[in-house]
Amino acid sequence: MQINEVCKQTGLTKKAIEYYQNKGLISPIIKENGYREFTDDNLEQLKMIALLRRLDIGTDDIREVIESKDKKSVLIMIKQEKQIQAKAKLARIELIEELIREEDMYKVQDRINLLEQQTTIKEKLMIAFPGYYGRYISIHFGQFLNEPIKTEEQNRMYGIIVDFLDNIESIQIPEELQPILDKANLDIEDEVLEKLNQNMQAVYDDFETYWKTNKDSIVEYAEFKKSEEYQDSMMAQQMNLFRKFGETSGYYDIFIPAMRKLSPAYDKYYEKMLEANDKLIQKIPDIEKW
């Protein structure tokens, strides 16, 4: 397919297509005469690129979307980042209106300083880490980070967490496990995540009731984890992988202690989690080996 036909079907200009080619987003066949031949796959990719650009998604994010095996998960992360940006943009537009009315630069400057101070810890971390780590923080800690940094101690802990995440070596995930982790850790809507967190909080708040209600299934699962079937499963590989990573990366020695000091809400949650874990070990001692 020639470029004129591609332009007609995608609505893109020749210059735009050339730009995306130079960015490595598409790779048409280059003939001996120098003309470009576009395949059906090139056409579909350009249609996707055109759609994403109309949604105001930048080329770096577009590359991540089209190269990902799990486009939905990448788009969820992009959506969250854009929601944060939209909130900040709206607040700044309101401050421009204040500047128009007040004509006092210093008052507006004080307000924008206050606005930046009010940015939640979750928003700051997701802006700092727009990819996997930002999504990981949102899933596992987001509910505890919906407040701004208020103290020097929190600010120091925030710095430790950013430094830890920015310098940690990426975990090497076997190719066969990646789709499972993508599904478990990334493809989670906020409503589902909130419900999961509420359920866990209920367990920690009243462990004895949880135990009485779920004793049989917990014991059955504990027996299953001793079996060869479990030891040979991808679930076991995943758990062993993350346990080794946690033991060697400083996750438990650096990241978790800093997170507990950064967020008083998470610290309370963590204490309840430890209490529930101790009670569970008393019921089923083998669980301590997990």
Alpha helices, H only, 103-189: 105-117, 121-128, 132-141, 152-167, 178-181
- For the stretch 8-37, pLDDT in tens is 999 988 888 988 898 889 999 988 888 889
pTM confidence score = 0.57
Q: Do 46 and 142 reside in the same domain of the chain?
A: no
Helix (H) or strand (E) holding 72, with range, is helix 71-102
Shared domain check, 186 and 285 = yes
| Cβ pair 138, 126 in contact under 8 A | yes
Q: Based on the domain organization, do 231 and 182 belong to the same domain?
A: yes
Asked if residue 175 and residue 246 are part of one domain, the reply reads yes
pLDDT given at position 80: 79
In the chain, pLDDT over 70 holds for what percent of residues? 85
The domain that holds 28 is classified in CATH as: 1.10.1660.10
At which of 43, 67, 91 does a domain end? 67
pLDDT in tens, 75-114: 887 887 788 778 777 877 888 887 787 767 777 777 776 6
32 lies in the same domain as 82: no
User: What is the pLDDT at residue 180?
Assistant: 53
Residue at a domain's end among 25, 42, 67? 67
Q: Are residues 175 and 128 in the same domain?
A: yes
Last residue of a domain, one of 52, 67, 82: 67
Residue 43: its pLDDT value, please? Answer: 93
Domain of residue 26, residue span:
3-67
* Number of domains observed in the structure of the chain: 2
Same-domain status, 75 and 49: no
Task: Give first-to-last CA distance, the chain, whole Å.
Answer: 57
Which residues have CB under 8 Å from 133's CB, separation 6+? 165
Report how far apart, in Å, the C-alpha atoms of 19 and of each of 16, 23, 24, 25, 46 are.
Answer: 5, 6, 9, 9, 11
What token pair was written down for 13?
A: 């200009």
* Res 187: pLDDT: 47
| pLDDT over 90 percentage in the chain | 21
Same domain, 209 and 240: yes
- The dihedral sign for the CA sequence 281, 285, 288, 290: negative
Dihedral class, residue 70 (left if φ above 0, else alpha if ψ from -120 to 50, else beta): beta
Residues 104 and 205 in one domain: yes
Indicate whether 203 and 112 sit together in one domain.
Answer: yes
d(CA 185, CA 238): 12
Considering the domain architecture, whether residues 49 and 143 belong to the same structural domain is answered as no
- Distance, in Å, from the CA atom of 39 to the CA atom of 62, rounded to the nearest integer, reads 19
Statement to judge: residues 14 and 30 lie in one domain: yes
Could you tell me which residues are beta bridge partners of residue 37?
29
pLDDT digits (tens, 9 = 90+) for 143-166: 899 888 989 999 999 999 999 988
User: Taking 90 as the threshold, does the pLDDT of residue 241 lie above it?
Assistant: no
